Amino acid sequence: MITVTNLTVAYGELVAVADVSLQVPPGFVLAVSGPSGAGKSSLLWAIAGAVPARSGTVEVDGLAITSRPAAAAHGVVLIPQGNGLARVLTAKENLSLPLLAGGNDLAEVDRTAGRALADVGLEDSGDHLVEELSGGEQQRVSVARGVAQQGKVILADESTSELDSTNRERVLDLLRREAGRGAAVVIATHDPIVAAIADGHAVMDEGRLTWQRHL
């Protein structure tokens, strides 16, 4: 369960997230939309522990999220806008690094990474360097890296923005499957189709969040 209470995130004078409260239970998919600069990424980053709260709190299953390492150890997975992949590593290596850091053994890491790449239709691209892949393929590698970690929270930041409709559906099915195994999923998106399939839809504007469709 994600519990955000009166959260404000600011960069100096600029308030990016203004007094936002929300809850996302396990098994639910929340879409957050809104214009560019509305504060969607900042909200996701704060839930991921990657930017500090100016005021208010973020909790995941009762644990206060105060730093990225603690959040990651607690199963909060961020699929960042721009993918955040290491371009000089292969697709499979990009998936393997966080799994190895999590203490999994090599054979298990290899199996999990292979399965996650197959889930996004890239079973034959594991040995390709990221920089050899198209923008859409890189985005799917980033999603695969996120779901491979089997987090209790998945924060997907514009994770379908470069995909054709078939692959968008594939990624949405995958995120829905993650919710089905008990993850709380938040998707920041500009895409009305993504917002429509989510269980709830919130809109941000100048840092403020209003509900279009409540969870």
Ligand X SMILES: Nc1ncnc2c1ncn2[C@@H]1O[C@H](COP(=O)(O)OP(=O)(O)OP(=O)(O)O)[C@@H](O)[C@H]1O
- On whether the CB atoms of residues 179 and 29 are closer than 8 A, the answer is yes
145 forms part of the interface with ligand X (CB under 6 A):
no
**Interface with ligand X includes 83 (CB under 6 A)?**
no
Q: Tokens 């998707």 identify what position?
A: 187
| Cβ–Cβ < 8 Å for 15, 207 | yes
Q: Which CB sits closer to ligand X, 25 or 37?
A: 37
Sign of the C-alpha dihedral computed for residues 136, 142, 147 and 151 taken in this order: negative
First-to-last CA distance in the chain? 13
**Piece of 38-46, 95-103, 121-129, 133-141 that binds ligand X (CB under 6 A):** 38-46
Interaction between residue 120 and ligand X (CB under 6 A): no
Residue 114 CB, nearest approach to ligand X (Å) = 31
Residue 164's SS3 state is: coil
Alpha helices in the chain (DSSP H): 40-47, 68-73, 91-101, 106-119, 135-148, 165-180, 192-197
Residue 40 found at the interface with ligand X (CB under 6 A): yes
Q: Which is nearer to ligand X, 42 or 167 (CB)?
A: 42
Q: Is 210 in the site for ligand X (CB under 6 A)?
A: no
| Site size for ligand X (CB under 6 A) | 12
Q: Which is nearer to ligand X, 125 or 189 (CB)?
A: 189
* Site membership for ligand X, residue 160 (CB under 6 A): no
Q: Tell me if 37 contacts ligand X by CB under 6 A.
A: yes
Q: Considering beta carbons, is residue 13 or 105 the nearer one to ligand X?
A: 13
Residue 84 binds ligand X, judged by CB under 6 A: no
Which one among 36, 165, 166, 210 touches ligand X, defined by CB under 6 A? 36
Cα(139)–Cα(148) distance, integer angstroms: 14
82 binds ligand X (CB under 6 A): no
**Alpha-carbon span 198 to 117, nearest angstrom:** 23
Question: Residues 22, 30, 41, 203: which binds ligand X (CB under 6 A)?
Answer: 41
Report d(CA 155, CA 122) in Å as an integer.
21
Q: Which of 190, 154, 213, 147 is nearest to 38 (CA)?
A: 190
Residues 42-81 binding ligand X (CB under 6 A) are: 42, 81
Which residues would be at the binding site for ligand X (CB under 6 A)? 11, 14, 16, 34, 36-42, 81
